[in-house]
Amino acid sequence: MIYQNWPDILETLNHLNETNVFVLLLLVPEQLFMYYACGQIFFSYLKNRKNVVKFTNGEILRISTELNFVNHAVPAGGLGGLAFLTYRLGPFGVSAGQASFLYIFRYAMTTVVNYAQALVAILILFALDLVPAEAQWIIPVSLIMNAGVFLVLFVVIFVASSKTRIEKFSKVSAKISGGLIRAVTFGKKKEIVEYEKISAYFSDIHESVRIAKDNKRYLKKPIIWGFVFSFCEIATYWIVAISLGRPELLPYIMVGEAIGSVFDGIVPYGLYELGMAGVMIALGVEFPVATIITVMTRVITLMFTIVSGSVPYYRAIRSKKNG
């Protein structure tokens, strides 16, 4: 991660003298609280499940920092984080299907909140007449991109809500994965995962969706924490902007972060900051300011991710192996 981002690290160091370092230090408690809020999206829901071991606040924060580290270290569009969360929560009595449901719910929740925040920010910018005429294309683009994400989420929920549909999806998934394995191994291996295990996994997701639909009160606290987490993501960039003496850029950051998040969900690695900076520039933010804010935020959060998450991650892996 350091090697790949070395040019951005050097650029950030060159611009540190332009910032208020004391304001930047606010990122330390802010980032820790953001990780905690992310963990509470999962764990405030799991507290309602009788078969799940209770989590302490320390465990919530630790697992969240580990998960954040994995999502940065494994460029797999979030799949690495899902695999790790499933692996990490297993000893607490959380099944793979439950972990997957919570992971999907988290992305759905943050997508909805980011979309709402972007609309609010756009309305503010229009009310203040701060949107250049040539940048008004951002509104339909933002709507279309987020509508696409909503469509995918709707399809996932639609399939997972029905026992019949989830069984059909399991059969199709087993056939596709089996076909790919046979093609890659030239027919020497027919499958990696047995159909029964695939079916059990998706049935577990279906059961988790059914329980959530029947007990909507379980989702109240996760939704609240989803709002908190999403605002913390924006606050990270805003703190950097404030340190540069540009607190008025909050609405631009809100729109850019929403579109950047869509890029991040679609592309495995690298387009989040490009999308965010590009939107801010299109909305009229000066090119140097937009790039410095996105690059500095990326580098600072990256280094904080390594420092806060790498050691707990390796300890978790080693303790699991030793156990």
DSSP label of 219? G
Residues 6+ apart with CB under 8 A from 300: 12, 24, 27, 240
What integer pLDDT is reported at residue 31 of this predicted model? 92
Average pLDDT over residues 87-115: 81
The predicted model scores a pTM of 0.78
Say if residue 296's pLDDT is above 80: yes
Nearest to 143 by CA among 116, 108, 182: 116
Higher pLDDT, 237 or 206: 237
Q: What are the pLDDT digits (tens) for 29-38?
A: 999 999 899 8
Say if residue 185's pLDDT is above 90: no
> Would you tell me how many other CB atoms lie within 10 Å of the CB of residue 214?
8
Higher pLDDT, 264 or 57: 57
Question: Can you give the residue ranges of every domain in the chain?
Answer: 6-140+221-317
Average pLDDT over residues 92-121: 80
CA dihedral 306, 272, 104, 80 (to 10 degrees): -40
Residue 248 burial class via C-beta count within 10 angstroms: exposed 0-12, middle 13-18, buried 19 and up = exposed
Average pLDDT over residues 94-111: 81
What integer pLDDT is reported at residue 27 of this predicted model? 92
Q: In the predicted model, what is the mean pLDDT of the chain?
A: 79
